């Protein structure tokens, strides 16, 4: 599949050669079709008869141009990247940077979870409230009736995050490029034992902070052997903010749900 992708503030876009013609997508939604009119060693010229509009794509990637009407001037359109069959050096740099950011964010979570000053601080109180909201572990209320159980669950959560950090990101994950993938995912894993992290072209054209969190989520599946998303699949509840967690989950579900590790990490970024 021949693909040229671009990113502007409003959307993630793509020109895609399906074999039957060219199509433009914005945020994964097809918006218009084109007919390929001219191809040279350097340029591909596409025509949209519904608007009498031409788009010229640089074969190697770079600045594209648009012409409206037969007498109209050519004007700059988008900077487009040609999607290759394997990772480009620039894409590998992005993945290394994402992995380094994931390490730093998990280090922050572990530091916050293990902070235990003699006098509680506002940060410690916030941390324990987030753990209560997301993982249903209550070590913040002074009169909690089953404090030993809650303390055990809290220690287990710390151990899980340490495992996720060490086994998941001491070394960069093994990434596999999926250049023909056109679905909604940016990164995914298969099962709970395959260490490979599959990356779609969209991964490089979306909001980087959220994609780092996605990598942490996917590594949680395989490093912590977490199958599916307990308490999530039936409700599909998206918390207004990550720190609120899901009111539909129990502790047993939350500790086995990669979304909860994602949410706590995101909530502690600030």
Q: What is the pLDDT of residues 135-171, one digit of tens each?
A: 999 999 888 889 999 999 999 999 999 999 999 999 9
String of DSSP letters for 141-175: -TT-TTHHHHHHHHHHHHHHHHHHHHHHHSS--EE
Domain spans of the chain?
2-82, 89-267
Structure token pair of residue 160: 């899980």
Q: What is the pLDDT of residues 182-201, one digit of tens each?
A: 999 999 999 999 999 999 99
- Of the given ranges (91-95, 129-133, 200-204, 237-241), which has the lowest mean pLDDT? 237-241
How would you list the strands of the sheet with 196-199, edge to edge? 174-177, 196-199, 187-188
Q: With respect to CATH, is domain 89-267 assigned 3.40.390.10?
A: yes
What rounded mean pLDDT belongs to the chain? 94
**Amino acid 57: pLDDT:** 98
3-class secondary structure, 78? strand
The rounded distance, in Å, linking the Cα atoms of 151 and 202 is: 41
Sequence-distant (≥ 6) Cβ neighbours of residue 69 within 8 angstroms: 52, 53
The rounded distance, in Å, linking the Cα atoms of 149 and 17 is: 57
Residue with tokens 């009736």: 145
Identify the CA nearest to 200 among candidates 220, 221, 215, 219. Answer: 215
Contact 177, 199 (CB under 8 A): yes
3-class secondary structure, 67? strand
Q: Beta-carbon neighbour count of residue 249 at 10 Å?
A: 23
Chain centroid offset of residue 83 CA: 19
Q: What is the pLDDT of residues 44-65, one digit of tens each?
A: 999 999 999 999 999 999 999 9
Residue 154 vs residues 114, 128, 160, 238: alpha-carbon distances, Å = 10, 9, 10, 24
**Amino acid 206: pLDDT:** 86
The rounded distance, in Å, linking the Cα atoms of 176 and 238 is: 28
């Amino acid at each position: 599949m021949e693909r040229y992708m671009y990113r502007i503030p409003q959307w993630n876009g793509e020109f895609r050669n399906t074999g039957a013609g060219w199509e433009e997508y914005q945020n994964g939604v097809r918006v218009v079709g084109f007919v390929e009119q001219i191809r040279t060693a350097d340029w591909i010229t596409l025509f949209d008869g519904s608007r009498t509009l031409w788009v010229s794509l640089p074969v190697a990637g770079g600045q594209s141009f648009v012409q409206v009407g037969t007498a109209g001037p050519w004007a700059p359109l988008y900077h487009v990247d040609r999607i290759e069959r394997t990772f480009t050096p620039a894409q590998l740099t992005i993945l290394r940077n994402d992995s380094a950011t994931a390490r730093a964010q998990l280090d922050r979570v572990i530091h916050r979870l293990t902070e235990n000053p003699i006098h509680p601080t506002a940060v410690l109180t916030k941390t324990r409230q987030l753990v209560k909201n997301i993982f249903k572990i209550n070590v913040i209320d002074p009169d909690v009736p089953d404090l030993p159980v809650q303390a055990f669950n809290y220690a287990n959560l710390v151990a899980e995050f340490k495992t996720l950090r060490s086994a998941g990101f001491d070394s960069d994950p093994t990434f596999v490029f999926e250049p023909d993938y056109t679905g909604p995912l940016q990164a995914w894993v298969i099962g709970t034992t395959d260490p490979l992290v599959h990356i779609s072209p969209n991964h490089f054209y979306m909001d980087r902070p959220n994609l780092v969190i996605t990598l942490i989520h996917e590594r949680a599946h395989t490093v912590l052997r977490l199958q599916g998303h307990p308490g999530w699949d039936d409700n599909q509840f998206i918390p207004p903010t990550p720190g609120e967690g899901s009111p539909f989950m129990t502790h047993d579900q939350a500790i086995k749900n990669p979304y909860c590790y994602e949410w706590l990490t995101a909530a502690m970024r600030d």
